[in-house]
Amino acid sequence: MKFGPLFGLSTTPTTIEEAIADIRHFEDEGAHGVCLHLHILKPEFWTEENFHKLFSSAHRVELYACCYRNGGSTELTDEERADILLMAARNGADIVDVMGDIFDPTSGELTENDEAIGKQKALISQLKQSGVQVLMSCHVLSPLKAEEVVRIASALRDRGANIAKIVPKCDTEAELAESRRANDLLREKLGIPFVHVCGGGMGKKIQRFETVLTGGAITFVRHEGTNDVQPRVSQVLAYLQSRTPWAAAVERHNMGEFVGRVAVITGAASGMGLLASRRLTALGASVVMVDINQKVLDEKVKEIYSKGGMAYGLTADVRKYEDAEKAANKALELYGRIDFLLCFAGGNEARCCNSVVKFYEQPVDVINWGLEVNLHGPIYFSRACMPAMIKQNRGVIVCLGSVSGVEADAVGSMYGTSKSGLFYFVKCLALAGAPHNVRAVCVAPGPVMTRPSMIGMHTPMNRAAEPIEVVNLILYLCSDKASFISGSTHFIDGARNTNFGK
């Protein structure tokens, strides 16, 4: 999950324009996501073009798509309904809802028909390949014992769902107490995120407030001004802030989109790559940490795990395209998506290869090392990771440049040549990714205190940057606050670039 638990219900729009207006309304109110009932749309809007327009319209919220058996979809077969969900996934939906009785509408809310279950599993697999989170739902709308809630949720999990959703009814104090017990059991036994939101007067009025604080992945809210007993965005936010001002439910909204996101980071076992890995995992992202130094990498992954972060270490050589493919495939296998690619791996060939001589004396293998690590590496990893970003209609690629890209160096010539090449490369990536909401930027530091010798490098501000200053800029550029920034190089060099280091 990217932002947090408050999802606005968009249950009335019949056109794409109305649905986009609903998304904007919920964004402005502070919701974290919007649940779009695609079955309410007029059938003429169920097209690739319209869905692309709809699902690329969100700037600060996740979009959850469902297609139930009402509204304009009553004449659809379940196979046609599945095609609509797949179309939503292809065009940028973040979460797709698969009904527990799809392909077997005679069974109630959870089919036990083997043929239908087989079709459900195949659909879920297809949806996951598009990079979405699959939520499987069971709207029982009658009171349930806590054990039955867990049984249903477990069945949804076992069919392949990333998130299990159960909607029973809750009208009495006894049913409210049972729903609280169900939440406790789900947290203890289920093992995946769950949505347990009760209908009924007591469920909508009380239980949905509590769900936000007791482990539920999503609770549903309405627009301001509704007469529905279901809580409104402002009511739930006020409830959270008055009781738990620093609770994760509120904090996730503030720190936003890194919760549930996935990053591939090269050069991740040390320096700024390690710092970015630590920061992203602390903010709720999962990270595939790529480095050539296996021993150090294993230690750093273990450290992140010990602090509650989600990280996987992959030993790789960025000079080899097959290793870049291996990293991208591992991210997709483990986490189902790639949201950020951060290319930190690199270094000055003269220093790294211990060959501090003029260019015309450099061995060719040192020249090749400088080009391959600093330029081929980001190119290879971008090529390997970008298709997943295109498919999910979202992604950010950050290449680490350097002020050396605008300064000449008679010794580390390939380092500066490669970094200037990255300035141009991100422009090409930005053009290719723009129609798919995939951005590319280059961050070009001056001297950074990653090693003591950096302190002697001149800047007009008379100091080197702290590594966290560079990482903070990168995280900002990855965030939705920078959603209109792409194709550009951002110098963070204490004004060194103003006079080319003189």
424-446 pLDDT per residue, tens: 999 999 999 999 989 999 999 98
Q: Which residues, listed in sequence order, are joined to residue 342 by a DSSP beta bridge?
A: 265, 398
Residue 491 half-sphere exposure toward CB, CA atoms < 13 A: 16
- 8 A C-beta contact, residue 283 and residue 256: no
Please name which of 303, 329, 302 lies closest in space to residue 316, comparing C-alpha atoms: 329
Provide CB contacts within 8 A for 192, sequence distance 6+.
Answer: 157, 161, 162, 163, 164
Q: Specify the pLDDT at position 454.
A: 61
Confidence of residue 115 (pLDDT cuts 50, 70, 90): very high
* pLDDT above 50 (res 99): yes
- 8 A C-beta contact, residue 403 and residue 444: yes
pLDDT tens, position by position, 248-282: 434 444 445 687 789 999 999 999 999 999 999 88
CA distance 52 to 45: 11
Give how far Cα 32 sits from Cα of 3, 35, 53, 251, 280, Å. 5, 10, 20, 12, 19
pLDDT tens, position by position, 307-347: 778 899 999 999 999 999 999 999 999 888 999 999 999 88
Tell me the percentage of the chain whose pLDDT exceeds 70. Answer: 89
Confidence of residue 245 (pLDDT cuts 50, 70, 90): very low
Q: In whole numbers, what is the pLDDT of the chain averaged over residues? A: 86
Average pLDDT over residues 13-33: 89
Domain boundaries, the chain: 6-256, 260-498
Q: Tell the CATH topology of 6-256.
A: TIM Barrel (3.20.20)
Superfamily of domain 260-498: NAD(P)-binding Rossmann-like Domain (3.40.50.720)
- Burial pattern 430-443, b for ≥16 Cβ within 10 A else e, equals beebeebbbbbbbb
Conformation bin of residue 495: beta by default, left when phi > 0, alpha when psi is -120 to 50: left
The highest-confidence range among 37-41, 400-404, 413-417, by mean pLDDT, is 37-41
Collapsing DSSP states into helix, strand and coil, what is residue 199?
strand
CA distance 43 to 46: 5
Average pLDDT over residues 163-168: 93
Q: Specify the pLDDT at position 131.
A: 86
> 379 versus 240: which is more confidently predicted?
379
**Rg of the chain, C-alpha, whole Å:** 25
Same fold, 6-256 and 260-498: no
Q: Specify the pLDDT at position 456.
A: 60
Provide CB contacts within 8 A for 476, sequence distance 6+.
Answer: 482
